[in-house]
Amino acid sequence: MADGAVVFSHSAIHSDSGASVDLMTLAATLAHAGAAVIIPQRTLLLPATDQWMNREGGVVICAEHWLIDHTKVFNEGKGTVQMVDGENVVVREGYGYVGPALCSPSVTSFCEHTTPFTFDDCGYTRYCRTSIVGVRIGEIRGGDDTNDVLSKGGLREAQWLQRQLGLIPIGVLATPPPAASGS
């Protein structure tokens, strides 16, 4: 059983400034801390040249569905609530997402932004989750952690997700396992 689950939109970031980062290190760090992680092998390219770039929703939604179908998450992924000063406060989330807002795969004429876990109509599907947190990367407009991830590898973001998902404390980024060879 995983303490939390995280879906990544991309496995690497490459900027036209020459900066790049392999997000497998961040993913391995979260996995070592107790999260189930799924990370499609594809690269987020910066800067984005149009509203669709880096926002292909189908791949991420498929990864999210696979993760939900194949992973048992603490408290069924529902947020843990605690009474604090007379108010209910979520103290532990179930799911996390690392990536930009996605273009809904069901809308083709323009990019209708959505995120995994909330993409589906909650009244009709088993994939909708309400207890999620996110690290925004690859966003064109503000509220973005891409530069921090590019310059520092994502340790701050991993520690933030660790606290939100109730994972084992993270001190340093983990070394990802070597990639399997296809020979």
Residue 30's pLDDT is what?
Answer: 97
The pTM (predicted TM-score) of the whole model is 0.89
Burial class (CB in 10 A: 0-12, 13-18, 19+), 151: exposed
Look up tokens 């009244």; give the residue.
Answer: 123
Smallest CA-to-CA distance from 98 within 41, 21, 46, 37 is with 37
Residue 95, strand partner residues: 5, 132
Q: Can you spell out the DSSP letters for 75-107?
A: GGGPPEEEEETTEEEEEE-SEEEESPPEEPTT-
Residue 78's pLDDT is what?
Answer: 80
Q: Tell me the HSE value of 118 on the side-chain side, using a 13 A CA sphere.
A: 15
Look up tokens 């310059």; give the residue.
Answer: 151
**Mean pLDDT, contiguous 10-residue spans, the chain (183 residues):** 95 94 96 97 92 89 92 86 70 92 85 80 72 87 86 95 94 80 53
Residue 95's pLDDT is what?
Answer: 93
